[in-house]
Amino acid sequence: MGASIAVAGFASACGTEHIKVARSNPLYRGAALFSQRCGGCHTLSYAATHGSAPNTRTAQANNGPNFDVRCERPVARVLYAIENGGFSGAYMPQNVVVGQDAIAVAKFVATYAGGQVPKATGIVRCQQQPVGSIPASVTPTATAAASSTVASSSSVSSGGGQISVGLPDVKAAAGNPGHRRKKRT
């Protein structure tokens, strides 16, 4: 009888991974939204999601990046990706979350992504890079965020204290994915 209770307890625990951010944490809302809206394509252990392909050779086109091993900072870059369907615009829907929800997800991803990046000589660890902030002057819409120039300094709490960052224009912070090369003739 004891063995059947143990098996039943073990079986009920399968597939019940939970969000690893405390409900009292201000970033919990972003973790829950990420789990609901992004978890089908992206992996991030803090949100209990496993949407990325475990093996890149067998990945499907809709398997998004594994954010456990990919650093996503600054937060303005993450917001840009949310609003514009990633950086390729091929598979991720634009504005998968919008408004304050998009900001909550962007802050969560920027804070917790990259936690399992392997150590490498000469590479700055993700946790040592500034999270940045989303200035009040940037409204969470694709048009405003893509064309706004931000020259202010502000801070965001990353759980371990305040990080102060001055952000350049949002396109530059996002790696300027709007830049296209001219075709050679």
Q: Which residue has the tokens 């931000």?
A: 150
Q: How confident is the model at residue 152 (pLDDT cuts 50, 70, 90)?
A: very low
* All structural domains of the chain with their residue ranges: 16-173
Predicted confidence (pLDDT) per residue in 60-111, tens digit: 888 999 999 999 999 999 999 999 999 887 889 999 999 999 999 999 999 9
CATH number of 16-173: 1.10.760.10
41: left (phi over 0), alpha (psi -120 to 50) or beta: alpha
Predicted confidence (pLDDT) per residue in 18-61, tens digit: 999 999 999 999 999 999 999 999 999 999 999 998 888 888 88
Q: Specify the range with the lowest mean pLDDT, choosing from 56-70, 128-142, 145-159, 169-183.
A: 145-159
pTM of the model: 0.67
Mean pLDDT computed over 144-170: 37
- What pLDDT is recorded for position 58? 86
Q: Specify the range with the lowest mean pLDDT, choosing from 7-11, 131-135, 147-151, 174-178.
A: 147-151
Mean pLDDT computed over 163-172: 37
pLDDT at 153 exceeding the cut of 60: no
Q: What is the 3-state secondary structure (H, E, C) of the chain?
A: CHHHHHHHHHHHHCCCCCCCCCCCCCCHHHHHHHHHHCCCCCEEHHHCEECCCCCHHHCCCCCCCECCCCCCCCHHHHHHHHHHCCCCCCCCCCCCCCHHHHHHHHHHHHHHCCCCCCCCCCCCCHHHCCCCCCCCCCCCCHHHHHHCCCCCEEEEECCCCEEEEECCCHHHHCCCCCCCCCCCC
Report the candidate in 138, 116, 128 with the shortest Cα–Cα distance to residue 161.
Answer: 128
Residue 162 backbone phi and psi in degrees, to 5: -95, 140
- What pLDDT is recorded for position 16? 66
